Amino acid sequence: MSQDFRLKNGGLIDRDKKISFKFNGKKYFGYEGDTLASALLANGVHLVGRSFKYHRPRGFFGAGVDEPYAIIQLYRNGETEPNIKATEQELFEGLEAKSVNCWPNVNFDVGAINNFLKIFLPAGFYYKTFMWPKSFWYKIYEPFIRKAAGLGTASIKHDKERYEHKYEYCDLLVTGSGPSGLASAYAAAKNGANVILAEDKSRFGGTLLTSDVNIGNQTGKEWADGIISELKEMPNVTIKNRSQVFGYYDHNMLVMSERTSDHLPKTKKFHPKQRLWYIRAKEVLISSGSIERPIVFGNNDTPGVMLSSAAKEYMRVYGVLVGKNPLIFTNNDSGYETAIEFKKNNVDSIILDTRKNPKSEIIDEAKNLGIDIKYSYVVVAAQGYKKVKSADIAKISEDKEELGKIENIKCDCICVSGFWTPTIHLASQSGNKTQFNKDIDAFVPGSAKQNEKTLGAANGVFTLDETLRSSFETGHELSKKITNNDNKVSFPNVIEKKSTTHDKFWCVPLPKGKNYKRFLDFQNDVAVSDIEIALKEGYRSIEHVKRYTTLGMATDQGKTSNLNGLQLVSKIENKVVPAVGHTTFRPPYSPVSIGAIVGREVGKHSKPTRKSPMHLWHEKNNAVFVDAGVWLRPRYYKRGNENLFEAAKREAKNVRTNVGVCDVTTLGKIDIKGPDAAELLNRVYTNAWLKLPIGKARYGVMLREDGIVMDDGTTTRISENHYHMTTTTAQAANVLSHLEYYLQLVWPELNVNVVSTTEQWAGAAIAGPKSRDLLQKLFPSLDVSNDGLPFMGYMEGDLFGVKARIFRISFSGELAYEVNVESDNGNFMWEKIIELGEEFKIQPYGTEALSTLRIEMGHVAGSELDGRTIPYDNSLEGLLSKKKDFIGKRSLSRKAFTADDRQKVVGVVPLDKKTSIPEGSHLVKDSNAPLPNPKLGYISASCWSVEHDNPFSLAILKDGKNMIGQKLFVMSPLKNKIIPVEIVSSHYVDPKGERVRS
């Protein structure tokens, strides 16, 4: 298809590079430097989608980030992405895009019936229409709305693209490369400041690319190009195009998304698709410019109605005509600039100016060019369904209330200019108290909360001379504050055409007997009538009106609609706009992909994976791993076709009959040194620590101040002032912080140092009746007899040339030892243990067998010490010293903690000795009781007891101490199970603890 609307010359596109692309399955051509929007317009395509609510045809309204209509689904390199603005998407070879929110296609859209049912879809229709009957919401209304609404479809595939995060610091961040951004960045950079200049579009220069001005005897574009190429060469300047600063956070932290590869057919190897920048700037200069606002009139959403500045941009930047028979509808001089641009390209337009008799240089130029101008005229309504075909126009009275006789004139596009709205989003996000400027009918930044300043059009300054002057000055001033340099750059001579004041007119009254929809918010289909209804129904706060009508919501966040909405509310309420106030500006300024926010933190990169020094051995020996916090631990070692259950049973049984070895490297280890180390332990742990002899270990429990058990573990006295503390794998980091808190803030008088040594030691637990025989083989010269190394004893040894620490401690309840060596020697130790253990039928065991062993022994662990239980609940009350105070002791006298029927850990066995009990099940007295059935307790951990060969569980049960022998029911609604059980002692195996001391 030929590009019928492409100008013969002009534009900043590269006409030598033709690009083919597909839209809704049809092939078109454009040029390098086009956006999808400009390329479609060049091909005369105006219909790109359907509106959110009424499914009315949608075209293009703008030429950039403010676009409310042209949201498309993009297909690139085998992936799909929703919510892409055609006005921002640069064209690349092979690009494919589709319309959204239409079915079966954009030309014939079934949903457009809503347009005729609009009487049923008034403001707040979500809250009204879909309320009754209640049961319909879940099955009918919600799926229907989900299908009908929404702009595009998210991919459900794994995103193969790479996204990066970058942290950067700078003296000055300049957001936007229009005249104010370039001038301030240049002045600051020349004065030695570190500057980051960010531009949302692919081209630098902003409005300089589209306006007829002269700066220092150059065109605006030439001047911009010169500044940019100079800045690019400066080592203290970073300039980034395709980069949107979208959020302004606390302490001058701004976040910018850089679209590094979105303009390419596919991302280059090792490059990111997008990059998110976290920028901490000493000062921020906001030069985000302004967005033209529409004038509201009948059917103003028809494709072909667009912003006048966009029409100019399509001509100047892309060499594209948005129409060949344009009508310009304006309340200010900007519309004239567009008309002049049309004229230069040999297209005659008609200007309808709402003003009576305005005079300015620009208007004179238009007159001299012979452009047809009608004063005090308005567009009453656009005519045409999928494209503007004509316009109903009329004279308007001086008070702007009465319309004259309606005439119909032919046109193929209507370019609207309702003056300019400063883009104050970033300033407002930073906490700036914005204020209403009556001269421009818009909000501008007021007093700053953070180190930011807004310049140029974003600050309501619309003349180039003043913009450049203030920007050069501000760039210089702020950089001087930071660098103490005083190098000034000379100010160029500026020639621009003078314009006159705009007309405060913004909404065309309805002609008698007509009921045209006059849209305020184009993306959400919010019309004047919707706001009127909301106010009639009593909504007053602008925040409520917004939520009720959806005015200013959705992906464009009301960039073109907010002010007209405010004008309307203030008019109906008979208030001034500042009294109505604006809704809160929140980040992001424009949509940011989830991928960019997540960055590299996906899959295995989302957290570090920690592996023990013996990991490779485990891998080689068919270990199946489980995540234990950030650690990978062997869950079981698979033999043949074994499943988890069978393997765990085999491994646990072997510990009970022979000997097993378990990798316990992951246990938290904290080295504690200093003359007051014992005193610290005595305060942190609930039991007594002052008399622990050198070479002995002790089990300890620590509490939080609220009396809840925080962690448990053993601590060993290595020497006079040196202790080795172990913590559970999960709590290692918290316990270290906890100790540091008390040492640094509460008891700074204690002379103790603590440091984590978790990664410095590799650990192996050797457990089982034959473990002593094995230990003797490992350390032939040591006396490891029951007298030589008794339970809770400690000694150091030489493991075939490797220094080792030997602890006689047990988690499995068997005779057991833990051997620690420096991490680098971990694998050596492990292989020695396996090698020498062979004659004792050693088998490695994983966490599943470890759990089985500890559960049937009644040893509490993480599932009982779950942040809700006190020592009594875990039958640890014997460890509470009565003679001394310790952290959390005072809380234990709370009424609930000392209640007679306080919960306590018990054992649970199914009556049939066969049915496994699901963890998390509830214990109840009567399984047939009416709901809610009173819950007596819950199953904290379950296993298959290898000692008794039947299922066994631990439970935290109300009045547990008096419940032994009772028959209860375990209920698991999740697993749909009801199991009759008997309550037994939690110590199901070796209740007297003889084995560990044998």
Partner 1 sequence: MLHIKCPHCGMRSQNEFSYGGDASVKRPQLGSEVSDQDWDNFVYNRKSLRGKHWELWQHLFGCRQWIKVERDTATHEIFNTLKANEEIS
Binding-site ranges for partner 1 (CB under 8 A): 167, 249-253, 278, 280, 431, 449, 683, 705-706, 737, 740-741, 744-746, 748, 884-886, 890-891
Q: Of 175 and 299, which CB lies nearer to partner 1 in the complex structure?
A: 175
Q: Of 251 and 691, which CB lies nearer to partner 1 in the complex structure?
A: 251
Measured from the CB of residue 753, what is the shortest distance to partner 1 in angstroms?
11
Phi-psi region of 603 (alpha: psi -120 to 50; beta: other; left: phi over 0): left
Residues 68/239, Cβ–Cβ less than 8 Å: no
Q: Which of 89, 329, 277 is nearest to 170 (CA)?
A: 277
Q: State the CB neighbour count (10 A cutoff) for residue 183.
A: 32
Phi-psi region of 239 (alpha: psi -120 to 50; beta: other; left: phi over 0): beta
Amino acid of residue 537: E
Measured from the CB of residue 449, what is the shortest distance to partner 1 in angstroms?
7
Q: Of 45 and 752, which CB lies nearer to partner 1 in the complex structure?
A: 752
Q: Which of 344, 342, 319, 328 is nearest to 292 (CA)?
A: 328
Q: What SS3 state is found at 214?
A: strand
What count of Cα atoms within 13 Å lies in the side-chain half-sphere of residue 809? 25
Measured from the CB of residue 754, what is the shortest distance to partner 1 in angstroms?
10
* Rounded-to-integer distance, Cα 722 and Cα 329, Å: 85
| Tokens encoding 335 | 């519309």
Measured from the CB of residue 455, what is the shortest distance to partner 1 in angstroms?
24
* Rounded-to-integer distance, Cα 267 and Cα 77, Å: 9
Q: Of 125 and 747, which CB lies nearer to partner 1 in the complex structure?
A: 747
Dihedral over Cα of 249, 251, 252, 258: its sign = negative
* Rounded-to-integer distance, Cα 287 and Cα 196, Å: 13
Measured from the CB of residue 172, what is the shortest distance to partner 1 in angstroms?
16
Measured from the CB of residue 539, what is the shortest distance to partner 1 in angstroms?
28
Q: Of 739 and 806, which CB lies nearer to partner 1 in the complex structure?
A: 739
Measured from the CB of residue 102, what is the shortest distance to partner 1 in angstroms?
41
Amino acid of residue 4: D
- Buried/exposed 738-764: b ≥16 CB within 10 Å, e otherwise: bbeebbeeeeeebebebebbbeebbbb
Measured from the CB of residue 934, what is the shortest distance to partner 1 in angstroms?
28
Q: Of 691 and 895, which CB lies nearer to partner 1 in the complex structure?
A: 895
Q: Of 887 and 979, which CB lies nearer to partner 1 in the complex structure?
A: 887
Q: Which of 104, 103, 35 is nearest to 70 (CA)?
A: 35
Q: Of 42 and 735, which CB lies nearer to partner 1 in the complex structure?
A: 735
Q: Of 609 and 744, which CB lies nearer to partner 1 in the complex structure?
A: 744
Beta bridge partners of 84: 72
Amino acid of residue 400: K
Measured from the CB of residue 740, what is the shortest distance to partner 1 in angstroms?
6
Alpha-carbon distances of 715 from 689, 721, 808, 870, rounded to whole Å: 10, 13, 12, 21
Q: Of 576 and 746, which CB lies nearer to partner 1 in the complex structure?
A: 746
Measured from the CB of residue 420, what is the shortest distance to partner 1 in angstroms?
31
The strand pair at 977-984 and 967-972 is best described as: antiparallel
Measured from the CB of residue 250, what is the shortest distance to partner 1 in angstroms?
4
Measured from the CB of residue 592, what is the shortest distance to partner 1 in angstroms?
16
* Rounded-to-integer distance, Cα 815 and Cα 993, Å: 10
Residues 82/97, Cβ–Cβ less than 8 Å: no
The distance from CA 662 to its chain's CA centroid, rounded to whole angstroms, is 40
Q: How many residues does the chain have?
A: 998
Measured from the CB of residue 744, what is the shortest distance to partner 1 in angstroms?
4
Q: Of 490 and 737, which CB lies nearer to partner 1 in the complex structure?
A: 737
CB under 8 Å to 577, separation ≥6 — which residues? 436, 441, 563, 566, 567, 570
Measured from the CB of residue 741, what is the shortest distance to partner 1 in angstroms?
6
Beta bridge partners of 50: 57
Measured from the CB of residue 278, what is the shortest distance to partner 1 in angstroms?
7
* Rounded-to-integer distance, Cα 828 and Cα 500, Å: 86
Q: Which of 652, 633, 667 is nearest to 855 (CA)?
A: 652
Q: Which of 221, 228, 242 is nearest to 195 (CA)?
A: 228
Q: Of 218 and 734, which CB lies nearer to partner 1 in the complex structure?
A: 734
Q: Of 543 and 885, which CB lies nearer to partner 1 in the complex structure?
A: 885
Q: Of 382 and 708, which CB lies nearer to partner 1 in the complex structure?
A: 708
Q: Of 252 and 383, which CB lies nearer to partner 1 in the complex structure?
A: 252
User: Can you give the C-alpha Rg of the chain in angstroms?
Assistant: 38
Alpha-carbon distances of 283 from 54, 227, 279, 448, 452, rounded to whole Å: 45, 21, 11, 12, 6
Q: Of 827 and 891, which CB lies nearer to partner 1 in the complex structure?
A: 891
Q: Of 626 and 733, which CB lies nearer to partner 1 in the complex structure?
A: 733
Amino acid of residue 506: W
Q: Of 130 and 747, which CB lies nearer to partner 1 in the complex structure?
A: 747
Scanning the structure block, which residue is given the tokens 């601590």?
715
Measured from the CB of residue 670, what is the shortest distance to partner 1 in angstroms?
12
Alpha-carbon distances of 13 from 31, 311, 500, 767, rounded to whole Å: 6, 16, 33, 76
Measured from the CB of residue 860, what is the shortest distance to partner 1 in angstroms?
23
DSSP letter (8 states) at residue 674:
S
Measured from the CB of residue 742, what is the shortest distance to partner 1 in angstroms?
8
* Rounded-to-integer distance, Cα 312 and Cα 350, Å: 15
Q: What SS3 state is found at 450?
A: coil
The strand pair at 761-767 and 709-719 is best described as: unpaired
| Tokens encoding 683 | 């305060």
Q: State the CB neighbour count (10 A cutoff) for residue 620.
A: 8
